[in-house]
Amino acid sequence: MNMQLLISGIIFGLSLGGIFFLMSIGLSLCFGLMRIISLDQLLYYSLGAYLTYTVGLLIGDVWLGVIGGVVVAAIVSLLVERVVFRRIYERDLPFTMITSFGVLIGGVGAIKYFWGLIPRPVPVPIAAQVDIIGTDIPVYRLVIIGVAVLVYLGIWLFLNRTIIGKAIRAGTEDCEHVEGLGINVYRLFTITFIIAGGLSGLAGGLYAPLIMVDPQMGLEVLAFIFMVVIIGGLGSIKGTLISSLLVGQVVSLGSLIYAPLAQMAPFAVMLLILLVKPTGLFGSALQKR
């Protein structure tokens, strides 16, 4: 395999990993703190993409579209948290999972209603390419990687340097203790949910120019996100980062080697890891709070 292919494959994999990461943090955080599997994050992902399309179309600026996507995704996730999840936090996992799946499916239906079934293209905001070691790399992909890195740093700072972030970290260990101190944990839940929704919307908005925006897009990417989250271990941000990078590279470089298998390779990796560590690389044997 020649150098150019390899380099573009790696960059491609990194940008893919970046998108996976943005999406998976939401799932991971929501699980860590609230012990729910928020399948509806995939809906916010789709909403982010669709809003990017619509706003980008109306205003002519895709970046504003992305921002619009993030905002709308965050608002919708807030609404869902208030109306649906707030009532069911104490319930067990299958329950909350089915409910979030219901939200996802219903949301996809709503998207179909408003936007129709036809896939929508979104123009790439930066068409330029840059030369890296003799290979032409689309700048947009580098931007995605950059955003993912910034988000990781932002999340890290938030969780480690702000009091709310520390409260959230404490909550992932034991929510009752946090509440016993007098902290309103329900507000923490809402904050976390909004962050998760916004990040998922960001992932969708950023990814939109690279794929066709269609109602099923959330479901198509669902398996990969699950694999990322499982490999990394639910609840671990570091684990999510590492596994997103890993899965991104596996898919990207794998498709250079043998295309059809590339989609399945992460699955094989996941099974292998689960054989050795049933809770993922960094997942702990967390109990229901």
**120: which strand partners?**
213
Stretch of 9-17, 50-58, 127-135, 220-228 lying at the interface with another protein (CB under 8 A): 220-228
Question: Among candidates 147, 137, 108, 107, which has minimal Cα distance to 19?
Answer: 147
Stretch of 3-11, 206-214, 244-252, 262-270 lying at the interface with another protein (CB under 8 A): 262-270
Phi, psi of 42 (to 5 degrees): -65, -25
What is d(CA 89, CA 250) in angstroms, rounded to the nearest whole number? Answer: 36
Cβ proximity of 224 and 217 under 8 Å = no
Q: Is 28 in the site for another protein (CB under 8 A)?
A: no
Q: Which is nearer to another protein, 140 or 282 (CB)?
A: 282
CB of residue 45 to another protein, shortest distance in Å = 14
Q: Map the footprint of another protein across residues 196-215, applying CB under 8 A.
A: none
Cβ proximity of 237 and 151 under 8 Å = no
Q: Which is nearer to another protein, 48 or 233 (CB)?
A: 233
If residue 135 lies in a helix (H) or strand (E), which one and from where to where?
Answer: strand 135-138
What is d(CA 98, CA 114) in angstroms, rounded to the nearest whole number? Answer: 24
Q: Map the footprint of another protein across residues 113-142, applying CB under 8 A.
A: 113
Cα angle at 219 between 18 and 189, to 5 degrees? Answer: 65
- Give me the helix-helix angle, 3-34 and 217-232, nearest 10°: 80
Both tokens of 173, joined, read 């260990």
Q: Map the footprint of another protein across residues 44-103, applying CB under 8 A.
A: 84, 87-88, 93-95, 97-99, 101-103
CB of residue 89 to another protein, shortest distance in Å = 12
Considering only 169, 190, 256, 269, the residue that binds another protein (CB under 8 A) is 169
Considering only 12, 21, 31, 50, the residue that binds another protein (CB under 8 A) is 31
**Amino acid making up residue 72:** V
Number of residues that bind another protein (CB under 8 A): 63
Q: Which residues bind another protein (CB under 8 A)?
A: 31, 37, 84, 87-88, 93-95, 97-99, 101-110, 112-113, 163, 166-167, 169-170, 173-174, 176-186, 216, 219-220, 222-223, 226-227, 229-230, 234, 260-261, 263-264, 267, 270-271, 274-275, 278-280
